[in-house]
Structure 1
C-alpha cells in the first residue's frame, strides 16, 4: 500500500461516521492511483455510504483505467443494486458498454437493450428520468428500429416526468416524419386501417393549456405550444439531454398537397395515431400538474451527510402523504426510494416507509429494515426496535433476538433495548431468560441509579407474572440496602405490599413504612410516607396501639 495509506485508513476506520475522513481516504488513493488500496478503501466506504453515486463512478473509472473490464462491470452492477434510481450511474454504465462492446455483434445490441430496459424498469418512473428515456429513444433510432422508438414513447407518454411535453412533441415529430408501416406494429397498423375504413378521422384536440386548476400554477410546458417549446428548450439545456436540441420543433403542416391516394391514407393514419394518444398525454399532463409544486420543493435530491432544511423535510412528508393517498403503489414506492436517498440519515422516513410496506409486502418491508439498520442508521434505536417487533410478528424469534442483541453490542447501556429483550422472552414464556437479562443489567450498572430501575422491573415481573411476592420483596429490599435514598424503590415496595391481602400483610406493610421513615430520604418524601402510613392505619389498621 502507499506510504500514508495506513494513516488515512485508520482515521476512517476508527471513526466510520466521519464522512470527511472517508473522502480524504478516497481522494488519497485516487491521487496515488493504487488499485489495491483503492479497492480496499472504496469497499469499506460503501459499507457505510452506498448512496454516493459519484464515488461508484470514480471506483468504476479506476478499475477501467487498469483495464479490469470484469471488475469494472461488477462495480457498476454493485452500484446500481445499491442505488437503482441513479440516472447518472445508469447512463455512465451504458456509455461504458457502448464504448467497450463490439457493436457489430448481435449479443452486444441485446446486452445494451437489456441494460436500457433494466434502467427504465428501475428508474423510469422517477419524475426526473427524462434524460434516460431520451437516451433510450435516440439509441433505438440509431439502431434503425423505429417501432421500438414508438414503443418507448408509448411508455413515457403516460409517465409524469419533468419534460413530459418535450416527449409529446418529439413523438409527434416521430410520427409525422416516418412512414406508418415503419413505426407501427403490424397489429396496430391493421387496426388503424380497419378503423379508418369504418370511421372518419377525429381531429386531434389541442391540449387545454389556458387555465390551471383552481389554486394551482401551471407548470412549464402547459401554457401553450410556444411557451412549451421555449420552456423545453431551457429545461433541456439545463438537464443536458443528449440528442437534438430541444428547441421549438419544426412546424407541422396543416395543409398538405398529396401526390396520391396512398399519401392521403398515410396522413390519415398519422392523424389517428396521434389522436389516439392525445387523451393519454392530457391525463399525464394533469398528473404532472398535481406533482409539480412538490417536485419544485426538492432542492437536494441526492444523498449528503449535511442536514436538510426544515422546508425540504416538510415537503417530503407532504409529497409522500399525497402519493400514498392519490398515487399508485408503484409510484409511491419510487417516491419513497427517492426520499430515503435524500433523507437517508432521517429515521422518520425509513419508519414511514416500513409502515407503508408492512401492509403490502413482508419481504419488501424486511428489505427496507435491513438497508436502514445495516447501512444508514446503525446507531438509531427506534428503527431497530421496530425491526425486531416486525420479525417477532412474523414468527422469526431468533432474528428478533439477534437484532436486539447486535444493536446492544453496538450501542450498549440503553434501557429501552434491554427491556425489549426482556419483554420478548416474557412473551415467549421464557421467564428464566427474562430474569437473567434483568439480573445481568443490574450487575452491569451496580452503584448507578439504573441498577435500581432494573430492580423495580425484576420485582414487578416476580410479583405480577410469577405471582411470587416474597421474591419480589427480596429484590427490592436488597436494592434498598445499596440505594437507601431512592424514593422510587420505597414507593414500589409499598405498592406491592399494598397489593397483597391487607390483613395478612399488615406487618410487612408497616415495616415498609418504617424503613422509609428511617432512611436518608429528604424530609418532603418522608412527610408523604408518614401521611400514607396514617391513612393506611385509619383504613386497615388492626390495633389502636400502632
Structure 2
C-alpha cells in the first residue's frame, strides 16, 4: 500500500482501491448544479477538452487542478463528479470531493460521497479510514447510537478490506478505537482476528496482543468463556504441581484440609501469569501458522510496485507478477479443497466402514464436497483489478474463475469491465456477449453487440458476430439482413464490400440452399470489383458445386471472366487449371477437352510457360490467401478496406469438395498426389495422353 496522503492532481489515480462485484456504474452519482455564480474563465475550455476525449487522463487532471486553484465550489463539484464517473478507482479524488462538502458544512453529503466511493472501491483501506475519521469528527459520541454506528462501519471495513495484505492500519485503528471506548474484550477480539490474517506487519499485531494482555487483568481482557476455561486449566495444573511437590518433600496434608485459596473473585499474581502464559501458548500456534502464510506471499507482494490505479501501462514484470500471484493463490485454494475433501472422505470412510460394507451406496446419495472458501482468492482478484483495471485479460480471467459460482457474479464482473473501465475494448464486450449466449440470454447478447457496434461503428468482427448469433438462433432472415446491410454500407470500400458479399453468398448457398441468390450477390460484387480474385474464386466454386452437366457452361464462363480480369499471372494459371480439370473430369466431348487444354498451354506460354513457375505461383497464392476465412479480430472498417486479410479473412470456397482455403485447390494437382497413379508430369499431356496439336 502506498503511503497515505493525497497525491498531486497530475498523478493518476491515487492508491489502492477497488470495486465490489455488484458495484453499479458511477453514473449513479448525483448531478450537481453550478453553485457560486459564474464559472471560472477557462472552465468551459478545459471541460470540453476532457469530454471530447474522455480517455485522456491529462485533460481531466488539468480541469480538476484548475478548479482547485480557482477555489470555485460549483466548478469543483461538477468536475469531480464527472471525473469519478469515468475513473471511479481514484480513491484520492473521492476524498477530495468529500472534503469539499465537509468544508462547506455538508457533513451528511460528505459521508454519502464516501459511501459511494466505497461502493466502487471497497478494498481501499485509505478511503475506509478517511470515512471513519469523518464520522469520528462529525458524530456526537455522547449519543448511544454513535458508537454503534462507528463499530458497524469498522465491521464493514474489515469485512471488505481486512484480508488485504496492507490492511494493518485499518486493524490498528479498530483496536485503538475499542481501547478508547474502554472495551478491553473487544480489543482482544479485534487483535485475535487480525492474528489470523497474513498482513505486512503481522508480527506487530502479536506484540500488541501481548502488551494488551500483560497490561490488563486477564479477567477483563479475555472473553468470559476463554477466561473460565483457561483459569480452570491453570488452577488444576497448579494443584497437581503442588501435590507433586508435597510428595517430593514428604509432606502430607491432614484429611479434609484443602489447598489455601485466594479471596473469592480475585486471582493471585502467580495464577494470572499462568493464565497469560497459557493464552500466549495458544496464540503462538496461530502466529506461527500465520507467519508461514505471510512468507509464502512475501515475494509476490514485493513484486507489486504499483498497487493503485493508473492509466499509464504497467511493465511486463508486474503483469507477470500478478498472473503468478493469482496462479499460486488459486492453486492453494484447490489444494486446500482437495485436502479437506480427502480428510472428510477418510473420516467418513472410517466411521461408516462397516455400514458401507453392508449397504450399497445409491446413486445421488453421496455427500457433497466441502464448500470452497475462496474469499481470499476473490480479494486478490479485486486487488489486481485496481492496478490492472485497463487490462482485459484480468477481467476475463476473473469472470472465468467465477463461472463455477453462478452467472450473476460473472455478469457483474463483465458489467464493471464493459460499462466503466473498458468501454472501448471490443474483445471484452464480445466475450460478454458470448457468455450471455452460452447462458441462454440471447436478448442480452444482442444488446451488448448492438451497443458495441453503435459505439464503435465499422468493426467487421462485431457485425459478423451479430450475424452469427442470429444464425445460431435459427433466425436466418435476420442474419441475412445484417450481412446485406453491411454490404450496402461498404459500397465505397471495395475490399470490404467484396468481403461481406462473400459472407452473404456463403450464407445463402450453404444455409439458405439458394444458389441463385448467392450467385446474384457475387456477380453484383464483381461488377463493383471486377479484379477481386476472391470473388472470382467463390463464384467459380459455387458453379463447381452445382450439377456437373448443367454447370459446364457457367464454369467456363467463370474461368473466361477471371482470365479477362487484371489478376496476377499465377492466379490466372490457377483458374485455367481448375477449368481444365473440370472439363477433363466431366466433359463428354474430347474435342472440348483438347480445346481447353490448348488454351491452357497458350496461357502457360504467355505467363512464362514453365510448370515450375505455375507451381511457385500457386504457393505464393496460397500464402497470400492464407487465413482468408479465419475469425481474426478486426479493429475498424478502414483497416478492412485497406487490407482484407487484416480486417477479416475472406471465406473459403463454397464447394465442400475442395480444400478449405481460397486458392487452396491447387494442392489437388501437385505431383505428390498423382505420383502413386503413375502421372510423373501432371500437366504435360503431350506425353502419351493427348496428341500434339
- Global fold match (TM > 0.5): yes
Q: Please name the residue that 2:657 is paired with.
A: none
SS in 2 for 1:440: helix
Distance (whole Å) between structure 2 residues aligned to residue 506 and residue 3 of structure 1: 78
Distance (whole Å) between structure 2 residues aligned to residue 534 and residue 495 of structure 1: 14
Distance (whole Å) between structure 2 residues aligned to residue 499 and residue 158 of structure 1: 71
- Structure 2, unmatched stretches of 5+, are 1-38, 240-261, 334-372, 593-693
After TM superposition, list the pairs within 5 Å mapping 1:96-111 onto structure 2: 96-111=134-149
Q: Please name the residue that 2:152 is paired with.
A: 114
- For the pair 1:415 / 2:460, whether they are aligned, the reply is yes
Q: Please name the residue that 1:360 is paired with.
A: 405
- For the pair 1:276 / 2:282, whether they are aligned, the reply is yes
| Equivalent pair of 1:130/1:161 in contact (CA under 8 Å) | yes
Distance (whole Å) between structure 2 residues aligned to residue 278 and residue 464 of structure 1: 72
Q: Deviations over 1:334-355 (max 9, x none)?
A: 1111111111111111111111
| Equivalent pair of 2:166/2:200 in contact (CA under 8 Å) | yes
Q: 1:130 aligns with which of 159, 162, 168?
A: 168
Q: Please name the residue that 1:176 is paired with.
A: 214
Shift of 1:199: 5.8
Shift of 1:197: 5.2
After TM superposition, list the pairs within 5 Å mapping 1:153-172 onto structure 2: 153-172=191-210
After TM superposition, list the pairs within 5 Å mapping 1:203-222 onto structure 2: none
Distance (whole Å) between structure 2 residues aligned to residue 504 and residue 325 of structure 1: 64
Distance (whole Å) between structure 2 residues aligned to residue 351 and residue 168 of structure 1: 39
Higher radius of gyration, 1 or 2: 2
Q: Please name the residue that 1:6 is paired with.
A: 44
Distance (whole Å) between structure 2 residues aligned to residue 506 and residue 8 of structure 1: 69
| Equivalent pair of 1:447/1:482 in contact (CA under 8 Å) | no
| Equivalent pair of 1:358/1:365 in contact (CA under 8 Å) | yes
Q: Deviations over 1:136-159 (max 9, x none)?
A: 111111111111111111211111
Q: 2:224 aligns with which of 174, 186, 195?
A: 186
Q: Please name the residue that 1:143 is paired with.
A: 181
After TM superposition, list the pairs within 5 Å mapping 1:505-520 onto structure 2: 505-520=551-566
Task: Give the number of equivalent residue pairs.
Answer: 490
Shift of 1:185: 1.7
Q: 2:385 aligns with which of 331, 334, 340?
A: 340
Q: 1:296 aligns with which of 296, 302, 305?
A: 302
Distance (whole Å) between structure 2 residues aligned to residue 268 and residue 133 of structure 1: 28
SS in 1 for 2:557: helix
Distance (whole Å) between structure 2 residues aligned to residue 261 and residue 81 of structure 1: 49
- For the pair 1:389 / 2:434, whether they are aligned, the reply is yes
Q: Please name the residue that 2:95 is paired with.
A: 57
- For the pair 1:453 / 2:491, whether they are aligned, the reply is no
State the TM-score, normalized to the length of structure 2.
0.69
Q: Which moved more, 1:362-371 or 1:259-268?
A: 259-268
Shift of 1:394: 2.2
| Equivalent pair of 1:157/1:167 in contact (CA under 8 Å) | yes
- For the pair 1:531 / 2:577, whether they are aligned, the reply is yes
| Equivalent pair of 2:163/2:198 in contact (CA under 8 Å) | yes
Q: Please name the residue that 2:422 is paired with.
A: 377
Shift of 1:318: 0.7
Distance (whole Å) between structure 2 residues aligned to residue 489 and residue 197 of structure 1: 95
Distance (whole Å) between structure 1 residues aligned to residue 395 and residue 321 of structure 2: 16
Q: Please name the residue that 1:220 is paired with.
A: none
Distance (whole Å) between structure 2 residues aligned to residue 541 and residue 39 of structure 1: 82
Distance (whole Å) between structure 1 residues aligned to residue 178 and residue 379 of structure 2: 26
Q: 1:428 aligns with which of 468, 473, 479?
A: 473
Q: Which moved more, 1:184-193 or 1:138-147?
A: 184-193
Change (3 A) 1:541 1:197: farther
Distance (whole Å) between structure 1 residues aligned to residue 271 and residue 546 of structure 2: 97
Q: CA RMSD in A?
A: 1.8
- Structure 1, unmatched stretches of 5+, are 202-257
Q: Please name the residue that 2:86 is paired with.
A: 48
Shift of 1:261: 6.0
| Equivalent pair of 1:125/1:159 in contact (CA under 8 Å) | yes
SS in 2 for 1:74: helix
Q: Which moved more, 1:327-336 or 1:102-111?
A: 327-336
Distance (whole Å) between structure 2 residues aligned to residue 436 and residue 384 of structure 1: 22
| Equivalent pair of 1:94/1:112 in contact (CA under 8 Å) | yes
Change (3 A) 1:411 1:199: farther
Distance (whole Å) between structure 2 residues aligned to residue 27 and residue 301 of structure 1: 24
Change (3 A) 1:466 1:170: same
| Equivalent pair of 2:235/2:271 in contact (CA under 8 Å) | no
Higher relative contact order (CA 8 A, sep 6+): 2
Q: Deviations over 1:95-150 (max 9, x none)?
A: 11111111111111111111111111111111011111111111111111111111
Q: Which moved more, 1:259-268 or 1:371-380?
A: 259-268
Shift of 1:163: 0.6
Distance (whole Å) between structure 1 residues aligned to residue 547 and residue 219 of structure 2: 94
Distance (whole Å) between structure 1 residues aligned to residue 110 and residue 121 of structure 2: 17
SS in 2 for 1:517: helix
Q: Please name the residue that 1:469 is paired with.
A: 515
| Equivalent pair of 1:84/1:122 in contact (CA under 8 Å) | yes
- For the pair 1:480 / 2:526, whether they are aligned, the reply is yes
Change (3 A) 1:182 1:469: same
Distance (whole Å) between structure 1 residues aligned to residue 142 and residue 476 of structure 2: 70
Q: Please name the residue that 2:332 is paired with.
A: 326
SS in 2 for 1:503: helix
Q: Which moved more, 1:492-501 or 1:14-23?
A: 492-501
Change (3 A) 1:537 1:296: same
- For the pair 1:32 / 2:70, whether they are aligned, the reply is yes
Distance (whole Å) between structure 2 residues aligned to residue 125 and residue 310 of structure 1: 26
| Equivalent pair of 1:297/1:315 in contact (CA under 8 Å) | yes
